[in-house]
Chains A and B, each alone.
Chain A
Amino acid sequence: MTDSNHSQSSHTKTTSRRSFLDALFGVTLLGWLGAMIYPVFRFLVPPKRPDLNVSSLDAGLVASFKKNTSKIMRFGRKPVIIVRKKSGDFKALSATCTHLDCNVQFKQDTEQIWCACHNGLYDLEGRNISGPPPRPLTQFQVNLKDEKIFITKGEGV
């Protein structure tokens, strides 16, 4: 009797131990599944700026861009200066002075690009016309589409 009792208790002990093991295994398995699925799920959620725009830069609405003003924007790694002439036409040039890499600015009175660092002057075609700049500024293409301004690289990448 005692013997059978003993074996029964040991039996229940092992079964309980086994069911505990099973439960723990189940929980861990679920945890593992979670650890695998969570990153994948987060990966699938599109990031805030899902569009990777490298070939063109959206410079906003034409209407909101006043005549005879300019603004500097990032295009890829480099700053670009976008100018709206008095005539209403747009021009986009690299905003990095070819002399010592200062950022250039638009001179409203003469419609020229000016670098404050050493008084370098460029015209709106980017040509260096006076001062120390050794090279012209790179031109970018401006395309107007649906009342919006888009800047693209001048020549093929």
Chain B
Amino acid sequence: MMHFNFIRPLLLVLLISFFIPRLSAQEPAEIIPPTDACYECHIDMDLDQDEVNQLFTHYLNDIHFQRGLLCSDCHGGDPEAFDEEDDAMWENDTYLGEISPNGEIAMCGKCHSDPAFMRKYSVSVSTDQESQYWTSKHGQSLKEGNLKVATCTDCHGVHGILAVDNPNSSVYDSNVPKTCSMCHSSESYMKGILETTSQYDDYVKSVHGKALLEREEISAPACNDCHGNHGAAPPEVSSINEICGSCHAQNRDLFQKSHLASVFKKEGLPQCESCHGNHYIVKPSDDFLNWESASGAVCLKCHEDGGKAKLLADQLFHVIDSLKINLDSAKVLIEKAEIKGMEISDLYFELEDAHNALIHSRTSVHSFDSTFVRSTAQPGFVASNNAKIGAKKALEEFEFRRFGLFVASFIITLLVILLYLKVKVFEKMKEKEKKNEKI
């Protein structure tokens, strides 16, 4: 009975949150309402008419209904018993009525854990959600009798479950953070369960959150991409590098090969996270390596005393920073030449190459090997130098053009003056001749 108190308002929130986008979405008119006894009776009930209406409106959009499932497939009862309420529900052995959280996992699992059944709908659909669920923090707490945990319907919705790839679904990639935050961001709800409730706020500000929520880049990670979904649990220290490495593979490989990997293992430090953080992962800056930066190098978290670590960080920072400075000054020169109207679009290739090398050398920092970083940055120095040389040549050419114009202009002006003088002299002579003739 206890779970009833909190599940109800939660469901309502879920329902309402679904209802808002739903209104403007698909036209439910295309869907023919079911003709079973549950629907026929409940749609006409006087009690709670609004709630019932809402429930059924949602249900008509539910993927289960659309694939042919009826109320009775989850709640039990006899959908053919049109005339007698008791036959339909109370006296029917299969009737479940309202479903408890524990029962819910089993109820959904009845179909979703049955490969033979699920194959009817999709051969590639996974059927391990239920078993995964019991391994998750949610599932384990439920096992321990804690009913304040998320069950299937808390994330997927109840009478309006949409397919995962439907953008209106609460578990669509870009909706996942919001869905998780409904519980995890609520201090009062998480009281006694988890101390931190800032994960969502942190995530929204992070590079991943911005990519997913602002740029709507579906490939960017949501909560479930690092924590798992049905088996959601905080990643273990030892698995963090694999989780991040599923996208940042090169960074992982470099770090694994670096001399730091064994130290991290020995000290039990999480890779990646130690420097980059977890939910609030910002776009890495070159200042991560800069001992003199305002926030100090990230290395300082462990290497307070500097020493060899500072030496290495200085070396790495120097390579990256000087490549960046080189690239920027090449850019400035190119822009200067472009403003002067010189055609130098070819130099943008060099800039692009230099920029690529800069990206690579930033990645190569994870090797913590200054020789390797230097060799990765080398093509960038070559390219940005080429760009600089090209831009300088263009600027010289520009000066040459002005000089050439000056020379040509001088000659032409002189010629104009001389020609003018010649004409004057010539005409004077003609006049004299005329006068002489007259005399």
Contacts and interface: CB of A to CB of B under 8 A. Distances in A.
Contact of A102 (B356, B407, B408, B421): B356
B418 A25 contact: yes
B359 A102 contact: yes
Contacts of B249: 116, 119
Contacts of A18: 425
Q: Is the interface of B mostly helix, strand, loop or mixed?
A: helix
A131 B218 CA distance: 11
Contact of B247 (A25, A28, A77, A131): A131
A44 to B, nearest CB: 17
Contact of B419 (A25, A31, A116): A25
B4 interface: no
A116 B363 contact: yes
Interface in B334-361: 349, 352, 356, 359-360
Interface string A56-81: 00000000000000000010010100
Interface in A5-60: 18, 21, 24-25, 28-29, 31-32, 35
A88 interface: no
How big is the A interface, by class?
20 to 34
A11 to B, nearest CB: 12
B349 A74 contact: yes
B378 interface: no
Nearest to B425: A18
A103 interface: yes
B422 interface: yes
Nearest to A29: B415
A86 interface: no
A68 to B, nearest CB: 21
Interface string B67-89: 00000000000000000000000
A118 interface: yes
Interface string B295-336: 000000000000000000000000000000000000000000
A21 B418 contact: yes
A103 B356 contact: yes
B272 to A, nearest CB: 14
Interface in B403-428: 407-408, 411-412, 414-415, 418-419, 421-422, 425
Contacts of B262: none
A56 B247 CA distance: 35
Interface residues of B, number: 26
B248 interface: yes
Interface in B21-66: none
A118 B247 contact: yes
A132 interface: yes
A105 B141 CA distance: 46
B418 A31 contact: no
A21 B425 CA distance: 10
B342 to A, nearest CB: 16
Among A21, A28, A103, A133, chain B packs the most CB atoms within 10 A around the CB of A28
A132 B418 contact: no
Nearest to B359: A102
A28 to B, nearest CB: 5
Contacts of A154: none
A117 B362 CA distance: 11
Contacts of B359: 102, 117
A85 interface: no
Given A35-B407, A35-B411, A102-B359, A24 B247 contact: no
Contacts of A119: 245-250
Nearest to A121: B249
A140 B248 CA distance: 28
Contacts of A131: 219, 247
A21 B421 contact: yes
Contacts of A77: 349
A83 B411 CA distance: 58
A66 B220 CA distance: 37
Contact of A32 (B217, B247, B412): B412
Among A29, A79, A117, chain B packs the most CB atoms within 10 A around the CB of A117
Given A25-B418, A119-B246, A99 B411 contact: no
Interface string A107-125: 0000000001111000000
18 contacts: A25-B419, A25-B422, A28-B411, A28-B415, A29-B415, A32-B412, A32-B415, A35-B407, A35-B408, A35-B412, A77-B349, A79-B352, A99-B219, A116-B360, A117-B359, A118-B247, A119-B248, A132-B217
Interface of B: 217, 219-220, 245-250, 349, 352, 356, 359-360, 363, 407-408, 411-412, 414-415, 418-419, 421-422, 425
State the 8 A-B residue pairs at the shortest beta-carbon distance, nearest first.
A132-B219, A119-B249, A116-B250, A25-B418, A35-B408, A118-B247, A31-B411, A28-B415
